[in-house]
Structure formats: structure tokens, C-alpha cells
Amino acid sequence: MDTIIKHAHSYMAYLVLLGVLISLVIALAGLFGNKLFTDKDRKLSLLGLIPTHLQWVIGVILYFTSPLGADSLSGAAMKDPVTRLYVLEHPLTMIIAVILITIGYARAKRMIGENKGFKNIAIFYGLALLLILIRIPWNAWPGGSN
């Protein structure tokens, strides 16, 4: 079961990155194109929000079922960079990224008919994407060096 959840979490990350990137590109195009944020744009920004939330749920399950998760939380784990990444740095950074994406979407959906909706998506999704990219354990990804 742990292997299935771990693989789901690894492969879902590709959808998260793609969804957030598409949402960010659309937001930047709308922002710099001086367009108005429409309901269609709001729905397109869900491409970043929905997979991110699904990934978070899978990650929480994995955190509490995996031997590299909550069971490894100790003072000794903080001295090992790999264990610290899985136990503290990756989960905490991803929670912050999910919060940023959620805030960006929530603020933007109230700005239908304004250009500020694009600005909110661009800022919050952009910051979240940066956090996601710096804390993905790249070596554990499918095709990475395990």
C-alpha cells in the first residue's frame, strides 16, 4: 500500500507542476495583456488549485504511513539532511505552497471583471511554484537516481 501511495504522490507531482505552470502562464498573459479576469480565467486557474490539493491529501496520507514520515521525527533526524528533507522541509514548504495557491485563487475569484485577478494568480501561484521547485526531492522522482 505504501508503494502505491508513494508512486501516486510522485506521478501526481507532474500534474501539479503542469497545472500551476499553465495557470501562471495564463495569468501572466492576462496581466501583461491588460485583459479583464473572466469566469473562464477563474476556471482555468483551477488547473493549478485542484491537483495541488489532491497532491496535498496524498502527501498527508504518505507522511503518516511512510517510514520516512512522521515516524522519523526526532532530534537525530534533524542531523541527517535526507531525513530532515522528508520529515520537515518538504512537508512544511509544500503546505506553504498549497496555502499560497489557495489564497491566490480565493482572492482572484472575487475579482471577476478586473485585471487584479490575474495579478493575484500570478503572484501567489508564482511564489508557490518557486517553493515547490526548490523543495521537490528530485532524486526520488521516477527516473531519478534513488
Q: What is the pLDDT of residues 94-132, one digit of tens each?
A: 999 999 999 999 999 999 999 999 999 999 999 999 999
CA gap 8, 48 in Å, rounded: 17
Identify the band that residue 45 occupies on the pLDDT scale cut at 50, 70 and 90: very high
Q: Which pLDDT does position 145 carry in this prediction? A: 46
* Percent residues over pLDDT 90 in the chain: 64
The answer to whether the Cα torsion of 120, 123, 128, 133 is positive or negative is positive
Q: What backbone phi and psi angles, to 5 degrees, belong to 101?
A: -65, -40
Q: Which pLDDT does position 84 carry in this prediction? A: 83
User: What grid cell was written down for 122?
Assistant: 500570478
Q: How many residues does the chain have?
A: 146
Answer for the pair 28, 120: CB distance below 8 angstroms, yes or no. Answer: no
Predicted TM-score of the model (pTM): 0.87
Answer for the pair 122, 28: CB distance below 8 angstroms, yes or no. Answer: yes
Identify the band that residue 71 occupies on the pLDDT scale cut at 50, 70 and 90: low
Nearest 5°: CA angle at 85, between 92 and 87? Answer: 65
